[in-house]
Amino acid sequence: MKEGGIIKFMQKLGAGYVRYYNKKYNRKGTIFEGRYRSILISKSNHFLNLPYYVHLNPLDIKFPEWRERKLKNYNNAIEYLNNYRWSSHLDYCGKKNFPSVTDRKLLLDIFGGEEKYEQSINKWLKEMEVGDIRELILE
């Protein structure tokens, strides 16, 4: 593993995508809100809550109130997540989406399999305790 390799890769990936997008749509300028950032996960409770945070991020599109624990319709939010293709959430729940892109074994072993992971993320969303990972949020 090369020191700073992931950061360099993400910068090149982002810059390449911006060039492609701008050329395709005949435009100029940035398309991302900020620079690539990363944080070190050093506590096990942060690691265990991180999949929830990552897999619930798509809710920002349609249900931004979820972050303030003010979700009005839990069932609609779950349905949205279960139909949102641009996340590994479906693969972790056992619904083939992009299974070759992720290595899910570690997390699925920790959570007890796909069904228990899905039950766990649904319960987590219903209870929405964002406070445990507040310091991990990059906003």
Tell me the per-residue pLDDT of 50-76, one tens digit each, with 9 for 90 and over.
Answer: 888 889 999 999 999 888 888 888 889
**pLDDT value for 136:** 55
**pLDDT value for 137:** 55
**pLDDT value for 130:** 47
Percent of the chain with pLDDT over 90: 42
Strand, helix or coil at 67?
helix
Q: Give me the helices (H) in 25-134, please.
A: 44-56, 59-62, 74-83, 89-92, 105-111, 114-127
Contacts of 90 (CB under 8 A, 6+ apart): 82, 84, 96, 97
Percent of the chain with pLDDT over 70: 91
| pTM across the whole model | 0.68
pLDDT band of residue 81 (cuts 50, 70, 90) is: very high
Q: Alpha-carbon Rg of the chain, whole angstroms? A: 17
Mean residue pLDDT of the chain comes to 85
**pLDDT value for 135:** 54
Structure letter (DSSP) for residue 65: G
Contacts of 58 (CB under 8 A, 6+ apart): 80, 81, 84, 86, 87, 89
pLDDT band of residue 44 (cuts 50, 70, 90) is: confident
Q: Is the pLDDT of residue 93 over 50?
A: yes
> What average pLDDT does this structure show over 71-96?
91
Q: CB of 41 within 8 A of CB of 50?
A: yes
